[in-house]
Structure formats: structure tokens, C-alpha cells
Amino acid sequence: MSDLLERLRGRGWRMTAQRRVVAEVLDGEHVHLTADEVHARAVGRLPEISRATVYNTLGELVTLGEVLEVSTDRRAKRYDPNAHQPHHHLVCARCGAIRDVHPTGNPLTSLPDSERFGFTVEGVEVTYKGICPNCATA
Amino acid sequence: MSDLLERLRGRGWRMTAQRRVVAEVLDGEHVHLTADEVHARAVGRLPEISRATVYNTLGELVTLGEVLEVSTDRRAKRYDPNAHQPHHHLVCARCGAIRDVHPTGNPLTSLPDSERFGFTVEGVEVTYKGICPNCATA
DNA sequence: CTAATTGCAAAAGATTTGCACGAAC
DNA sequence: GTTCGTGCAAATCTTTTGCAATTAG
């Protein structure tokens, strides 16, 4: 059963077949699908679901804070349902594969005032870059 | 005079009016323009320069390692000419403004083996998120 | 002179939008 | 019944590509 779905129900999210399918497709760890991949998988379970609905739904999940948008070097954004466990990303520079990694014991110091340029700092995102074992072999 | 341009000359980069203008437009600190913004500014100095050439040139500068691609939450990528001084970014969640920030005294521990999933880790990118003074006022 | 670069225009890829119809509550 | 969500198709925005004309070295 989908954790994400549970949480959404709990928040009184209006439920439809399409939204359920999107939430189900997204659920899990190390899941970082593009909108198009979400649509492709959703179609497997609900053939008539449209891309527009997938985009709408993803946008809403991001607004609700239940899904994170991951911007990569590539064109399409990826969506990460693992929003409630703080984590960072390890990205393969060659193929774009992404893994979740969890903050090391090292609490990242917050930015010193002298480096804030008057900004209010709300968070930090850490992305490690490297080559995945698959690409290293090939 | 443009630092970037100097470096490119030194590397024997084939020079054209278009390339010079792109390098000039990019030079500086806290510069994070989109391809379209680069084009707009380049046109100011060389009216007939085409978007395709701007894209070509930016792509090449990235390949040469002289310019960094910054992926944001927004659609268009941004280009950062400050590639030779290691730094991170502070991004306004509201308007997208970006400032360069320099690593705090805190050396970010490298990822432990148990969190590498077999990847070779080559670098890390840190992005602070917040609200810029401008947006905070509005 | 020769190989590399440019501009154009068209194509491709990703995402958004307007609107009539249909479904959730 | 009312409000909100959906599908479609067209629009928009960003980036890439093919190719003939041009230019740097």
C-alpha cells in the first residue's frame, strides 16, 4: 500500500482514479521519475489518463510538499516522493541515474551572515556527482 | 577586459566575433544568465548573432569546463562563468535570483562508502534556498 | 585553401493552457 | 447540485538539428 496515498487521504485530498494511480506510481525509495515516465507507468494501470492530468497532479503534489522536484542537468525534471525523510542525491553524470543518500553525521553549517546577501535561508540541497557502476563498466 | 576571454585565447580557442561577444557577456561574478538572456545581451553588441550560435557556444564553453551549467527549478538552464573558483549557490525560491557563496570553513565530508551505491564520486554541489531581500519586502 | 563556425528555419522535447464534459463529495 | 478534476488539442518555451554560405587561421 502506498504511504504517499495514505498521507494524501489524511489531508483530505479529493481522490480520483487518476490521482490514485499517480500517487501509486510515485511511491517508494530511490524513485525519481520524469513526468513522462510517470505518465507511461500510469497508462499501464489506467489507459485513458492524460499527460495534462499527470502534470497537474505532479504540480499539486509539489505544492502540497508531498513530492519534491529534482532539477537535473537534463531537460526533464524528476519527481521524488521521498519528501518526508531529509536526504540528498547522488547523480550519475553519464546516464543521469539518481540515488537517495542520507546526510552524513556532518550537520552542514548554515551559511554565515556575511554570505547571505540579505537572503533568508530556508534550506540546503546537496547533490553529489559521479559515475554509477553501470556506466563505469561500459 | 574579460578574464574568460583571456583564458579562452590562451587555450587556442578559435575566435570569432560571436564567440567573443558571448564570452564578454558572460564575464563577471554572480552572473547566471539563461541562454536567452545571453542572446539578448549579445544582440546588443552584435545584432546579427543567432540563438543557435549562442547555444553552440555555451555548450562548448561548458564542455571546455570554462562555464558551468546551473540547473534550477525553472525551465531554462543558467550559465555560470565563475568555473575556476569553487563556490556554491544561494537561490531565491520566489524570483530565482542566484548569488555565489563560498564554501564555509566546514569541509563537507565526502560520502561514506556505505552511501555510494558503487558510484565513483567526483564532486558535490550545494545549493542554499531562501528568499532574497527584494522578494521579502514585496 | 581547408576545416570549423554561422544563420536560418524547421524539428523536437517539455510543459502549460483554455475550455467543454464528467465525476467527487 | 456545485465545485473541482479531466482530456483534448493547441500554444508556448527551450533547445537541437541539418545544411548551405561564410570565415578564421
Note the pLDDT tens digit of each residue in B48-83: 999 999 999 999 999 999 999 999 889 999 999 999
- Closest to B89 measured CA to CA, from A118, A124, A14, A38: A124
Minimal CA separation from A112 to chain B, in Å:
8
Element containing residue B89 per DSSP (H, E): strand B88-92
Q: Read off the pLDDT band of B138 (50, 70, 90).
A: confident
Same domain for B10 and B76, yes or no, is yes
Same domain for A24 and A67, yes or no, is yes
Q: Read off the pLDDT band of B107 (50, 70, 90).
A: low
Is A135 annotated as contributing to ligand binding? yes
pLDDT at residue A123 in the model: 87
Determine, for residues B130 and A119 on separate chains, whether the beta-carbon distance falls below 8 Å: yes
Same domain for B75 and B7, yes or no, is yes
> Which residues of chain A are modeled with pLDDT < 50?
none
Here the CATH number for the domain that contains residue B32 is 1.10.10.10
Cα dihedral sign, A26-A30-A32-A38 = negative
Q: Report, in ranges, which bases of strand D sit under 7 Å from a protein C-beta.
A: 4-9, 13-18, 23-25
pLDDT at residue A107 in the model: 54
Average pLDDT over residues B108-134: 89
Is A116 annotated as contributing to ligand binding? no
Same domain for A109 and A72, yes or no, is no
Nearest-CB residue to A101 (from B102, B104, B111): B111
pTM score over 0.75: yes
Same domain for A99 and A131, yes or no, is yes
Same domain for A19 and A74, yes or no, is yes
pLDDT at residue A3 in the model: 84
Same domain for A25 and A48, yes or no, is yes
Rg (CA), chain B: 17
Number of folded domains that form chain A: 2
Distances from the Cα of B93 to the Cαs of B4, B75, B90, B129, in angstroms?
29, 14, 9, 6
Domain endpoint, select from B80, B101, B122: B80
Minimal CA separation from B81 to chain A, in Å:
16
Domain that holds residue B127: 88-137
